[in-house]
Amino acid sequence: MGERRRRPVAVTTALCTLLAAVALLAGCGGQGGLRSAGRAPDAVGPVRLWPDLPPATNPPIDYGENTTERVPGIAVGDNDVRAVDPIAVVRAEVRGHEAARSGQDGLYEETVRAIERCGTDRAGCPVLAPYYRDLTGNGRDELIVGIRMPEQQLGVRVYQAENGGLTRIMSTVDQVVSIELAGRDLIVRASSAGIPGYEYRTAWSWDAQQHTMLPARDEIVRVRPPGARASTVPAPDFVSPSPSPYPSRSSGGPLPGSSGGGP
């Protein structure tokens, strides 16, 4: 029997490639195949307005958003924030800033007195049940504390355990719609006064260079008004944490002698 002649490898490869291409084209023309969506829009890059305008030389106003502070008198064993009492933490800060009525340490006088009574009046305690989440990415949980205040305001503070103590890495006050956790971001949804149908959303994120949490994203978002159909405006897609086990507490306005504007 004579030797079988082998087909050249290059010819075989080219033939297989051609058959595969023909099969692909035939499939695309059938039902359910790929179809063109039309011409893609041209990409438009950013255009700088007033290019001759000189840049600002002075730094922006400091609103204290990146100010951290060591909580006095609070020891944290094994750097575990779950070992500390959140009420004791807030009390320590209040006693260290007794005269503060504005800024990151500011609290209403009514709120300060209620915090001091938390041991005997648990139902009236403005310090909410704490939450724990690793917001810094260091593998350890941080302590998230909420403080109810008059005029439907809520103070939100975040503490990090380090070197056997506690450092406050975030503090803000607002008329809050809800507080939410998304990954390592803490999202504050606040009412938007003067703009019906909208709310403010601020995503606070850890900044390792500043060693604090900063408002990395701040936006005004349209929300669905009560009673509106679902198709009118998409509902927010964030997931809120479980509600506080502490009972609700109604709050009035600031007491006489306190700062009328609040924190």
The predicted pLDDT at position 91 comes to 93
Residues (pLDDT < 70) of the chain are 1-33, 59-66, 97-106, 193, 225-263
Widest CA span in the chain: 115
For 217-245, what is each residue's pLDDT tens digit?
A: 999 999 876 666 654 444 444 333 433 33
The predicted pLDDT at position 163 comes to 92
Residue 157: CB atoms within 10 Å? 22
Q: Which residue has the tokens 């779950």?
A: 82
The predicted pLDDT at position 104 comes to 62
The verdict on pTM exceeding 0.75 is no
The predicted pLDDT at position 107 comes to 84
The predicted pLDDT at position 226 comes to 63
